[in-house]
Amino acid sequence: MRGIKAWAPAVVLTALTGLSAFLLNPIWVAVMVSAAVAYGTMSSIVAARRLYFLAGASAHSALLAAVLALPLANFIGLLSERAWAILVGLALTYSVGYMIHRGMDPDVATSIFVAATASASALAIYYVLTRFPLEAELWAIMVGDPLLSSPSEAFYALGVAGLTASAVVLTYREQVYIGLDREFARLSGIRTWAYDLLVFTLLGLITVSLIKVVGFVLEHVLLLLPSAIATRLSRSSRAVLLASLSVSLAASLSGLYLSVLANLSPAGLVGLVLLAAYLACMAIGR
């Protein structure tokens, strides 16, 4: 009976995904499901490692990387805009990760990182807007619009989601141990530096790769709220992972459906659905 209850949300969400793909454009559904899986699973790692501040800051590095990729691809070439964005985003994420690894307080390192990337993003956006006719592309980076995604972008998003989910599931137990007691985990033989590197890599990868799908603003919500809701609903670390993924999927699909009905931004409605779910959890918790 307990096993059936554990799998019930997955069955319901699978059916909901299939119904959404039948009623709506399958490309839209694939992109939204990809974002939900990537951010929903990563959100549980953020909660386990208590990296809420860093997760929120990672969206700033993604914004800067996506904007800088435009002139880099035009002037230097060699790589596509997407490849340049990933390289720059990972370099920025590794920089703050290195500061934390060297012993700097995580909140202080992240604060410095946010201040630097926010200032640099303002300069980069101004430069791009005055040198290139790319207002529409910058708008997509800021707000996100999955309804404009192409089939190739949908397959790309599915690949990122599959890679992220696999990495999270395979290392989730160790990440929870490190989050509970880092020194004990290290003494037990866990290579904490390797798991730190994996967390920074995944954060940089999913924020940069999917920023045009969900947008700069919604990335904060999808990384932070699913696990915040899941920790109020669950009694174990495994249940937090399943609940975070389920909440993210349900919010993404319902937000997409409501956006089509109301002709509003999918990113904005997904954020409102997650916020309403969190407020409801708080009310029930009282």
pLDDT tens-digit profile of 100-155? 777 778 778 888 888 888 888 888 888 887 777 665 566 667 666 777 778 888 88
Residues 55/207, Cβ–Cβ less than 8 Å: no
CA–CA gap between residue 267 and residue 271 (Å, rounded) = 6
Domains in the chain, number: 1
pTM of the model as a whole: 0.83
pLDDT of residue 65: 87
Question: Once rounded to an integer, what is the mean pLDDT over residues 221-233?
Answer: 84
DSSP sequence for 127-167: HHHHHS--HHHHHHHHH--GGG--HHHHHHHHHHHHHHHHH
Domain with 251 in it: what CATH number?
A: 1.10.3470.10
Average pLDDT taken over every residue of the chain: 80
pLDDT of residue 163: 92
Which domain covers residue 252, as residue numbers? 2-285
pLDDT of residue 18: 55
